[in-house]
Amino acid sequence: MEDFFLIAGLGNPGKKYDNTRHNVGFDTIDMLSYKFGIKVNKLKFKALTGEGSIEGKRVLLLKPQTFMNLSGESVREAVEWYKPSLNNLIIIYDDIDIPLGKIRVRAKGSAGSHNGMKSVIYQIQSDEFPRVRIGIDKPPENWDLADYVLSKFNEQEREVIDNSIKRAAEAVVTIIKSGTEAAMNLYNG
């Protein structure tokens, strides 16, 4: 469907993971949900979902509830149901290879070290879809990667990240309105 967009933010379900580095994808979905009045509260496709419209296009907002490493199962079920063009599948997630707070939009590409993205690419058998990555920076020396991505932001970092989440949500809207290329030009600076 050309006028339909499936927008998935990756994260881990449950209060204990709220506001962690790994959940900025969820936070961005929450921001879109708030901004466009789309309630993300139906349990479907192993995810919390909400249908609505952004820029006159139908959208499904998706927060997989499978835990990060199995995010692809949820995304695949939604893709099989709605059959969006892969250009209209947008995945939002955290990236340790990008400095804190920076946003990167890409039209396609590998998962890098991100297990949630590895799962998505494996499950839908393609990496040809746009993604919005939010930089959370590398872990400090001697920090275990898993502990780091599951840690919460400190106050200064939170301010930076809240701004990034807003920009990531705007980048998603730009992809819907004007395409991935336009969003890359605007947000990859």
Which residues are catalytically annotated?
22
Candidates 81, 64, 73, 78; CA nearest to 26 is 64
Task: Count other C-beta atoms under 10 Å from residue 106's C-beta.
Answer: 16
Q: d(Cα 9, Cα 28) in Å, to the nearest integer? A: 7
Q: d(Cα 163, Cα 27) in Å, to the nearest integer? A: 11
Q: d(Cα 170, Cα 178) in Å, to the nearest integer? A: 12
Region of 137 on the Ramachandran plot (φ > 0 left; ψ -120 to 50 alpha; else beta): left
Q: d(Cα 33, Cα 35) in Å, to the nearest integer? A: 6
Instruction: Give the chain's end-to-end CA distance (angstroms, integer).
Output: 31
Which residues, including other chains, have CB under 8 Å from residue 97's CB and lie 6 or more apart? Answer: 112, 113, 135, 138
